[in-house]
Amino acid sequence: TMSLNSSTLLNEENVQGAKRNTECLESLLQAPSSFQDNPLQQLQLASQEVLEKAKKSGRSKCPRCNSSRMFYCYTCFVPVETVPTKEIPTVKLPLKIDIIKHPNETDGKSTAVHAKLLAPDDVTIYKYPCIPEYEEKRHEIALIFPGPNSVSVKDIAFHLQKYTKKGVCASDDDCSREPLFKQAKIEPEEEKNPNEGISSSSSEGTRLKKIIFIDSTWNQTNKIITDERLQGLLQIELKTRKTCFWRHQKGKPDTYLSTIEAIYYFLVDYHQEVLKENYKGQYDNLLFFFSFMYTLIKDAKCCAGKE
């Protein structure tokens, strides 16, 4: 969590977290030495000097709610006073992202806010059960979640063909209207145009315009994934990536990623497998905060002799 300094972070990390972090590094023994030290080191990131300075100066105030935070406010989704917004990179995404957050998910432990901070124009965070109705947009939306009916990223276009406008909408007018909401959004000031999406030239072969991610511990996801508003959506599973999250959940496979990792790896795969374009680090800055915290916690553990 970004609200804590490095010493507090170290104290709060449990034995399982330390073990998970060590296993993640050990899995990279065959890689170059620099990559062993930090598997995120190869990312093309903006300068993290602003975070280094903020770490040294300690906690600061949120400019909106005045709460004391480290790096950013996880409730207002803005950097703190010691982290100028102009020094934080902005990432433009090829499609819109909705993050559905479990109400019991601890705000300070969630990585979902990273996406909102770094891609503010393309990411919307909802707190369950305040989520949109997706039924009328099923032909252009997919849900990232593992399951028996999940498909791979490269097969998105093929499977979306089953969700035609005619099949999910009474008319074109119905398809173009604003989505319905059972409860108010938590971000009313940032209402998105539902017709926004990637351009037709760059989306050849797919109609995908929005991806949904669930931000929750794996043990709490059942309540959300069984919600009637999410039924019938195409489900995508990311099977080839391994998490380096320091709070990996005990008993779950290492392919179960943190929210920001899932967003990042999906976009990389989508860029290559669906858009058919060479990936040149366009989305690496989504891990701007994550990679910094990974290194901070790893170094703290090393200093404490935990590795």
184-224 pLDDT, tens digit per residue, is 344 444 444 444 443 343 344 448 999 999 998 777 788 89
Half-sphere CA count of 82, side-chain side, radius 13 A: 17
Please answer whether residues 221 and 147 qualify as being in contact, where contact means their C-beta atoms are separated by less than 8 angstroms: no
pLDDT digits (tens, 9 = 90+) for 238-281: 876 766 655 555 556 565 688 999 999 999 999 999 999 999 99
Distances (CA, A) of 186 to 71, 77, 100, 190, 279: 22, 12, 11, 9, 33
Task: Give the containing element (helix H, strand E) for 126.
Answer: strand 123-127
- How big is the CA angle at 176 (ends 172 and 182), to the nearest 5 degrees? 120
The predicted pLDDT at position 6 comes to: 40
R_g of the chain, CA atoms, integer Å? 20
Please answer whether residues 246 and 294 qualify as being in contact, where contact means their C-beta atoms are separated by less than 8 angstroms: yes
The rounded mean pLDDT for the chain is 76
Please answer whether residues 91 and 117 qualify as being in contact, where contact means their C-beta atoms are separated by less than 8 angstroms: no
pLDDT digits (tens, 9 = 90+) for 6-44: 444 444 444 444 444 444 434 433 333 344 455 677 899
Is the full-model pTM beyond 0.85? no
**Pairing, β 78-79 against β 72-73:** antiparallel
Confidence label for 180 from pLDDT (cuts 50, 70 and 90): very low
The predicted pLDDT at position 115 comes to: 97
Domain ranges of the chain: 44-86, 89-162+206-306
